[in-house]
Chains A and B, each alone.
Chain A
């Protein structure tokens, strides 16, 4: 559930920000989305992508841990 929420929030916020850019620059939503998520040569965007990946892995790890705990509880009953 946490990993799913992470992805939902990521998609919705990306769409919102791309939509704002599209509104301001009178451009296409998909072009803006592409610009928003692309990593330009020489930029430091890789840092935030790495941090984002840590966040995603953490939420996936938490979800898996919880699922295993649930299965363990069912097994012990």
Chain B
């Protein structure tokens, strides 16, 4: 198979990490279990997120130039490696369908009220298929173009609410009123796995970075920046809506942005939220999709670009059938996915990989030094 060289820059990696982490986390809101202390949970979660990202990159650095799937083959041999790769392909495709469903629900309930979910799912997937038909670099470059708008809109949303006089800092108090227990409950396993543990996909992407030198630093700063933006978002949501309304809202940031009313002129800015969430979702679905495609490339030994449309059609299909309604979708995301999918795939297998990598690399080094 002819391998097409794909390279993205460190700056593009930084942007992709931020957009990926913000993606659906900004949309559905995180840390609800911690109530008014959700922002504290996000700050602590960010620190864990940095540690998780550095652990993944540490694994990659042991065998330079290989991605997650090639590490499996390196450690466990061809057949077990390919079997584990297939499991990850299923996991990545399932999560991309979940993330796309989040966005479809947002669109159907806000701006495309009479449009069938199926149409949105197919259209979005066609966009992502088109991006990956042209390669990872296209996603990197697109992110570079839209990134300033994403950050500016997030910051401006907070300022807009502040100037509209809807910002109630008393909603955030009492700080740690119930102690640390709710914060820990929000952290484990929900927030650690979503969005921070999902960075496991970057074990596929990081193998295609042009400059290897500062990957760890850039990735850590990327997670930190996304953590800051998510904390900012959490503060906006709690201070504007209060704990109870935030807990009940399907899309808290969207509900908060609806409170903006400046000079009786700037109103209904929730469309701006839809815009930046849409971009975050494209990046997130795209990165999971790319991870799955690279896994298939390893299994079938065929270029992944020839599989973008078929696999895209599968994801569009499962986006719709994944659950009957939004409530069931969220229930699955809270009850089943973190425990039975996220924890094994984000922590179980990577932790299992560590002793094998250390053993194999030591063996390789000994062989090289003796010869």
Residues in chain A within 8 A of chain B (CB atoms): 1-2, 5-6, 8-10, 12-13, 16-17, 20-21, 23-24, 36-37, 44-45, 47-49, 51-52, 54-56, 58-59, 62, 66
Contact = CB atoms under 8 A, between A and B. Distances in A.
Interface string B304-344: 00110111111011101111000010011001110000000
Given A2-B302, A6-B314, A9-B89, A47 B118 contact: yes
Classify the secondary structure of A's interface with B: helix
A48 B121 CA distance: 9
B132 interface: no
B122 A51 contact: yes
B94 interface: yes
B309 to A, nearest CB: 5
A47 B93 contact: no
A1 B300 contact: yes
Given A16-B94, A24-B331, A10 B302 contact: no
Contacts of A58: 309-310, 313
Contact of A24 (B90, B94, B118, B336): B336
Contacts of B310: 2, 6, 55-56, 58-59
Interface residues of B, number: 37
Contact of A9 (B93, B323, B335, B337): B93
Contacts of A17: 94, 318, 321-322
Interface of B: 86, 89-90, 93-94, 97, 116-119, 121-122, 296, 299-300, 302, 306-307, 309-314, 316-318, 320-323, 328, 331-332, 335-337
Contacts of B302: 1-2, 66
Nearest to A6: B310
Contacts of B119: 44, 47
Contact of B309 (A10, A37, A55): A55
A18 B25 CA distance: 25
A12 B336 CA distance: 17
25 contacts: A2-B306, A2-B307, A5-B307, A6-B311, A8-B86, A9-B311, A10-B314, A12-B90, A13-B93, A13-B314, A16-B94, A17-B318, A17-B321, A17-B322, A20-B337, A24-B335, A24-B336, A37-B321, A45-B118, A51-B316, A51-B317, A54-B309, A55-B313, A58-B309, A58-B310
